[in-house]
Amino acid sequence: MKTKQIILFASGSGSNVENIIRYFQDKPNVTIAMVLTNKSNAKVLERCNRLNINALYFNKTAFKETDCILDILKCAKPDLIVLAGFLWKVPENIIKAFPNKIINIHPALLPKYGGKGMYGDNVHKAVKMNKDDESGITIHYVNEHYDEGAIIHQAKTKIVSEDKVEDIAAKVHALEYDHFPKVIEQLLLAQ
Ligand code: GAR
């Protein structure tokens, strides 16, 4: 396989970003070209610094009102753009420029618990409140609507009534760490 390039987007802690970086560290056919974040103080920046990965912070203007980020992406020519805990809606100019090349991970079994405001612990709180006996992850293509692109992969975990919100979050994170890098790898292999 020719070397494939991934660009990752994240908004917060970046534990998925770190997991993906580590997964591909020893695989010469996949390179993490860079990590982009919309939070200047996001923990993901510390992780990238420690792991020696290029990282860039951008603001709303650069992302939504200009072609600045689009131009950076076009220059880098990524084989896949991966949203790993990224909370802004991706503008249409970027979606149009990278058809079927942008994927997202959502911490629930879509179409349940998707849409604006449904991210991170908000999702797990809703799962707990509704007394669901399962939750999981959804990896999907990104389109103009929050969490509505075609589903690529889902995985489930059991939830018991004793599980607190942080227990549900931990179960879902464990699924993310296990499945997300492998799904990324499969998508790259299939290109
Ligand atoms: C992950 O659980 C991811 O699924 C979720 O944010 C978390 C980021 O954790 N994404 C969304 O909620 C997107 N709607 P991390 O920063 O530790 O990887």
Q: How far is the CA of 22 from the centre of ligand 1 (A)?
A: 17
pLDDT score, position 68: 95
Tell the CATH topology of 4-106+139-154+178-190. Answer: Rossmann fold (3.40.50)
Q: How large is the average pLDDT for residues 39-66? A: 97
3 state DSSP class of 68: helix
Q: How far is the CA of 156 from the centre of ligand 1 (A)?
A: 16
pLDDT score of 2 more than 90: no
Q: How large is the average pLDDT for residues 123-149? A: 95
Query: Which residues contact ligand 1 via a Cβ below 6 A?
Result: 10, 12-16, 84-85, 105-107, 119-120, 173, 176
pLDDT score, position 172: 98
* Cα 142 to Cα 102: distance, rounded to the nearest angstrom: 6
pLDDT score of 106 more than 70: yes
Q: Whose CA is nearest to atom 17 of ligand 1?
A: 15
pLDDT score of 32 more than 90: yes
pLDDT score, position 116: 87
pLDDT digits 0-9 by tens, 60-79: 999 999 999 999 999 999 99
Ligand 1 atom with the shortest distance to the CA of 118: 14
Which residues are CB-contacts of 134 (< 8 A; sequence separation ≥ 6)?
109, 156, 157, 158, 159
pLDDT score of 1 more than 80: no
Catalytic annotation present for 106: yes
Q: Which of 106, 124, 145, 173 is catalytic?
A: 106
Structural tokens at position 92: 């249409």
Q: How large is the average pLDDT for residues 13-28? A: 96
Q: Whose CA is nearest to atom 10 of ligand 1?
A: 85
